[in-house]
Chain A
Amino acid sequence: MNNTIPGSSKINRWVLVPLILGIVLTAVFGFRAVRSFAQVQLTSLKPGTTDVEAIRGWMTIPYISKMYCVPANYLYKQLNVPFAGNDQKSLAALNQEYFLGQPGAILPKIKDAIRSSKPACQNGTISP
């Protein structure tokens, strides 16, 4: 007695790959989504708040100046980096150029500079 479904191996081949991939993706991204959602919940999200730990290598000095209400000239001075020609460069590029590419050398300096400064914002604009 033959109790197989004709063509079932063909079905299996076409269904099994996306099925397994679907299970793997659901498990991996389900876990990650729950974890990142919990992270969002734990970090009390206050729009507009800034933390120096959020400074990243892609940021430019003018951007950091605006975000943290610290005059750009002050930041350039603290880093010993000239203003001219550097306003469009990221921290990573400045690190490469002025700190001999030592990984992350610029980050502690800029964080210290922000911590030791007084916020200069008044109604969203930086006072000179």
Chain B
Amino acid sequence: MNFTLKIWKQADARSSGLFQTYRLNDITGDTSFTEMLDILNNILIEAGEEPVAFDHDCREGICGACSLYINGRPHGPDDRITTCQLYMRKFEDNAVIYIEPWRSKAFPVIKDLIVDRRAFDKILQAGGFISVNTGSAPEAHTHPVSKKQADLSMDAASCIGCGACVAACKNGSAMLFVASRVSALAHLPQGKTEACRRARAMVAKMDELGFGSCTNNGSCQAECPKGISIAHIARLNREFLYCKNPGPR
């Protein structure tokens, strides 16, 4: 297959960027999107040009490093996958492919397609944990957790922190990301003690870092590689509101 690639090139955070056009020929459909970029980069090096910088690591859709905005969609034209799990057979032959970094005020571009996502770490540092010291835990079977609650917690916890939800959102909101952590812990008895503090602190930090508000579009849910439901945002809102007016649940 042959492709025309229009790739965002930007030297660093302070420089302005532009789309650079590359032609790439003889790519097989079984090549993953990141492998396609490997091929392009090696061709560029052999031609004495500088390769395209992009984040990637595990190449199996679990580390959350890869983060490309492809033809207007985070992680490109397939559902429930990350960029590294996107295969070129999903494109038409001779297609023109636009490749951009995540676009969000809270994720400044570092170079080319690489953005700074440390804002996510900061949100979790604000309260995305259970305060238990190592060595102080009771025996694991002390508190049974119903299978249903454990499964719901696992659904929420499957977030890999890639940031596609923010990139997909017209407001650049991180609500699905925050909700996934809050909801994962809120479904477990051990997460209840700090539930109020957690929801408030994480939401406050999200606002402080420049993420936008949620207007219930659902684009985050549509583009989440792990298929995390916006029902978890409802759970976050409930936790948050309950904290404002604590009373019987």
Report if A and B associate in a common complex. no
